[in-house]
RNA sequence: UGGGGCGUCGUCAAGCGGUAAGACACAGGAUUUUGAUUCCUGCAUUCGGAGGUUCGAAUCCUCCCGCCCCAGCCA
């Protein structure tokens, strides 16, 4: 992969030390273990990049494993979308996708083993009673009346739970640890519950399902995982993770290491909040380009490489953090600046008529220019000239393309100002600017409508500046992008901005949706884009020169009605200076 | 007020007893047919606070302060 080496972090330090001590015979196996109950977001990308990245760097392996132990919440559609997202990010998990449900049989056997050792028992306490017996943060819990049920009875009951003899909630299997533990996770945690429910993969085979704590560590062990990386909130579960692995005849004892999850400013990351935005239609589905979901940022035009570089740039630690989206955008621009072909588009068109562009020019210019001779149409009406433009000024190998110039063109409304300050390097009455790859033009006349709004500019061009260079060495401060009537097609452009007004969407309000940015999506209908963009491939990002990076929308763009999403703007120091 | 974590530049983050990396942001300047890119330059005498150990501490010890997580038959 093209990105730089992953920089040092505490996890790599641990692994390096393990390797030096000869632990795990030099193997490094990690896993990415999503529960298929939602869509992946950029926070997951951090975990994915970490797990796959570390495995890759130490010549190990990373398993993609679905933690599918709760059929009440899980669904095949999530499995499918997660697979597609991880693949899109560019990671490879070999030939096998793992599922915790593949281990249900082994897990059941481990549970029986625990019961036989007197380390687990079937409990009849219901949920409310269980809560009561658990105690509080400061007081120890009470032992369940079933805690000392004879082993044989536990074995029998557990088997009957499995056989479907009892209703949901009638019994649970609990590990027998310590009801007085200061760590609540060790107060005889439930490890199996009855759920008479069909599972996306095992269908109706099981009516008891193992809990996360019981499943996770043992699945890790079954896969030979050496380093089990998870987020901070599982730190309190580690003693249970270790206890289980020690009490049961597991093939190995993986090491759980916790790291801080990523938070991004101006957005939300929790499943619950994302779901609210989607369900209450604040956004248009899980792949809305404003969302931090993988599907969303992909549709927005983000590239896998940009996300990988970003995940590498933010590092891995154990502190709470809120990363500046600016860093993400910067990683994106870095990647896009390299790869995106340049093109011209005018999103707020202002008509410009070139007064001295006429039939006569046609004859005089044709003599000494092959291209214009071939492609110029000197029909009965007006001349259309074809000019050469670079697809990437810094990368000649990306080639050139022809763009059409004619009497009627469009420039950006923003690029004209009637009473312009000296620092405004663009068009104003009497001022001369360069039209990129075309000619120098001078503004001669401003036409307004009845409301006083500028609707058209009459300019003259200098034929000697063809291509944008002036033979007399005359300088011009501004270069504008443009598009001609004949060389462009209409398009819709959607301008996306941050979803929230506050860095922390939670701030100041009871309901985070009150902090939503009302201008997070601005749809522009009357835009004009270079003709070549009619068949732009969805998700392929172009730089619209001087505006930003854009890609055709994968869902709504058609050759008849192109729709472009703004991926990210260009850095704009003028806008910044102008604001001051 | 039980337990588990965390506190180094505006935001991330290296550092692991030898005298504060890097990235983004920010501020200047150069080049530029994108006010883009690129390129220079600057940006923590100080590591949550106070003591202590040491020739020497962000790194070791003590106390204090602040923030996060845990009482699902969720993961």
- Digit-coded pLDDT (tens) for A245-292: 999 999 999 999 999 999 999 999 999 999 999 999 999 999 999 999
| Cβ pair A189, A118 in contact under 8 A | no
Which run of H or of E encompasses A42? Answer: helix A42-57
Q: What pLDDT sits at residue A578?
A: 80
Residue nearest the C1' of B37 (CA based) = A337
Coil, helix or strand for A468? helix
Coil, helix or strand for A47? helix
Fill in the DSSP letter of residue A121: E
Coil, helix or strand for A312? helix
Residues pairing with A445 in the sheet: A458
> Rounded to an integer, what distance in angstroms lies between the CA atom of residue A403 and that of residue A387?
5
For residue range A190-249, list pLDDT tens digits in order. 999 999 999 999 999 999 999 999 999 999 999 999 999 999 999 999 999 999 999 999
Strands (E), A364-453: 385-390, 400-405, 408-412, 432-435, 440-448
Q: Is the pLDDT of residue A444 over 70?
A: yes
Q: What pLDDT sits at residue A306?
A: 98
| Cβ pair A407, A354 in contact under 8 A | yes
The reply to whether the CB atom of residue A417 sits less than 7 A from any atom in nucleic acid chain B is no
Answer left, alpha or beta for residue A559, where phi above 0 means left and psi between -120 and 50 means alpha: alpha
Alpha-helix runs per DSSP H in A248-358: 271-279, 294-300, 304-314, 325-339
Instruction: State which nucleotides on strand B lie below 7 Å from a protein beta carbon.
Output: 1-8, 10-16, 21-27, 33-38, 67-75
Strands (E), A95-178: 98-99, 120-123, 172-175
Q: Is the pLDDT of residue A579 over 80?
A: no
Q: Residue A58 has which token pair?
A: 């130490």
Q: Is the pLDDT of residue A527 over 90?
A: yes
CB atoms within 10 A of CB A548: 22
For residue range A353-379, list pLDDT tens digits in order. 999 998 654 544 444 444 443 444 554
Q: What pLDDT sits at residue A562?
A: 97
Minimal CA–CA distance to A194: which of A236, A220, A164? A164
The 3 state secondary structure assigned to A59-75 is: CCEEEEEECCCCCCCCC
- A261 catalytic? Reply is yes
- Predicted ipTM? 0.96
> Rounded to an integer, what distance in angstroms lies between the CA atom of residue A117 and that of residue A175?
11
Looking up tokens 């697979």 gives A83
Minimal CA–CA distance to A185: which of A256, A237, A128, A119? A237
Report CA(A224)–C1'(B43) in Å, whole number: 48
The reply to whether the CB atom of residue A561 sits less than 7 A from any atom in nucleic acid chain B is no
- A35 catalytic? Reply is yes
The reply to whether the CB atom of residue A537 sits less than 7 A from any atom in nucleic acid chain B is no
Looking up tokens 């011209």 gives A344
> Rounded to an integer, what distance in angstroms lies between the CA atom of residue A163 and that of residue A207?
7
Alpha-helix runs per DSSP H in A472-561: none
Report CA(A577)–C1'(B28) in Å, whole number: 14
For residue range A135-184, list pLDDT tens digits in order. 999 999 999 999 999 999 999 999 999 999 999 999 999 999 999 999 99
Dihedral (Cα; A299, A303, A307, A312), 10-degree rounding: 180
The reply to whether the CB atom of residue A172 sits less than 7 A from any atom in nucleic acid chain B is yes
| Cβ pair A104, A202 in contact under 8 A | yes
CA distances to A384, A413, A454, A455, A524 from A451, rounded to whole Å, are 33, 16, 9, 10, 22
- A514 catalytic? Reply is no
> Rounded to an integer, what distance in angstroms lies between the CA atom of residue A468 and that of residue A465?
5
Which run of H or of E encompasses A295? Answer: helix A294-300
Mean pLDDT for A381-402 is 94
């Amino acid at each position: 992969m093209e990105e730089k080496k992953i920089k040092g972090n505490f996890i790599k330090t641990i692994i390096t030390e393990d390797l030096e001590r000869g632990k795990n015979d030099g193997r490094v196996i990690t896993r990415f273990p999503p529960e298929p109950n939602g869509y992946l977001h950029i926070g997951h990308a951090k975990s994915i990049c970490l797990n796959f990245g570390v495995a890759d760097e130490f010549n190990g392996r990373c398993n993609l494993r679905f933690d599918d132990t709760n059929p009440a919440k899980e669904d095949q559609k999530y499995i499918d979308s997660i697979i597609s997202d991880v693949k899109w990010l560019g990671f490879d998990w070999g030939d096998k996708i793992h599922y915790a449900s593949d281990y249900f049989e082994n897990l059941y056997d481990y549970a029986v083993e625990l019961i036989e050792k007197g380390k687990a028992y079937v409990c009849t306490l219901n949920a409310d009673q269980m809560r009561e017996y658990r105690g509080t943060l400061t007081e120890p819990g009470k032992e369940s009346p079933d805690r000392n049920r004879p082993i044989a009875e536990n074995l029998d009951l557990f088997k009957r739970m499995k056989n479907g003899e009892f209703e949901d909630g009638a019994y649970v299997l609990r590990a027998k640890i310590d009801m007085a533990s200061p760590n609540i996770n060790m107060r005889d945690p439930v490890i199996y519950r009855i759920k008479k429910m069909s599972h996306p993969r095992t269908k109706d085979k099981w009516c008891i399902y193992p809990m996360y704590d019981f499943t996770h560590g043992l699945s890790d062990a079954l896969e030979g995982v050496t380093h089990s990386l998870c987020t901070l909130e599982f730190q309190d579960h580690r003693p249970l993770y270790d206890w289980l692995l020690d009490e049961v005849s597991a093939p190995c004892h993986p090491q759980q290491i916790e790291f801080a999850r990523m938070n991004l400013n101006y957005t939300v990351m929790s499943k619950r909040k994302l779901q609210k935005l989607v369900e209450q239609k604040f956004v248009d589905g899980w792949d809305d380009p404003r969302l931090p979901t993988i599907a969303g940022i992909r549709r927005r035009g983000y590239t896998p490489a940009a996300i990988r570089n970003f995940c590498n740039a933010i590092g891995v630690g154990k502190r709470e953090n809120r990363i500046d989206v600016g860093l993400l955008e910067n990683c994106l621009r870095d990647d896009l600046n390299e790869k995106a072909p340049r093109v011209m588009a005018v999103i707020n068109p202002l008509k410009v008529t070139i007064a001295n562009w006429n039939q006569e020019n046609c004859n005089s210019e044709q003599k000494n220019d092959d291209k214009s001779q071939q492609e110029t149409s000197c029909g009965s009406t007006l001349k259309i000239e074809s000019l050469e433009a670079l697809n990437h000024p810094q990368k000649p190998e990306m080639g050139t393309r022809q763009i059409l110039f004619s009497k009627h063109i469009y420039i950006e409304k923003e690029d004209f100002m009637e009473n312009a300050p000296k620092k405004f390097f663009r068009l104003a009455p009497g001022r001369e600017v360069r039209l990129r790859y075309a000619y120098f033009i001078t503004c001669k006349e401003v036409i307004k409508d009845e409301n006083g709004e500028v609707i058209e500019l009459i300019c003259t061009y200098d034929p000697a500046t063809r291509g944008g260079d002036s033979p007399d060495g005359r300088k011009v401060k501004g270069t504008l992008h443009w598009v001609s009537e004949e060389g462009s097609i209409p398009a819709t452009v959607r301008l996306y901005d941050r979803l929230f007004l506050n860095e922390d969407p939670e701030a100041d309000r009871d309901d985070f949706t009150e902090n939503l940015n009302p201008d997070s999506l601005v749809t522009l209908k009357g835009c004009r884009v270079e003709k070549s963009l009619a068949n732009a491939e969805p998700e392929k990002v172009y730089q619209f020169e001087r505006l930003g990076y854009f890609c055709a929308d994968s869902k709504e763009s058609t050759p008849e009605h192109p729709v472009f999403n703004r991926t990210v703007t260009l850095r704009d120091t003028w806008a910044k200076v102008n604001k001051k």
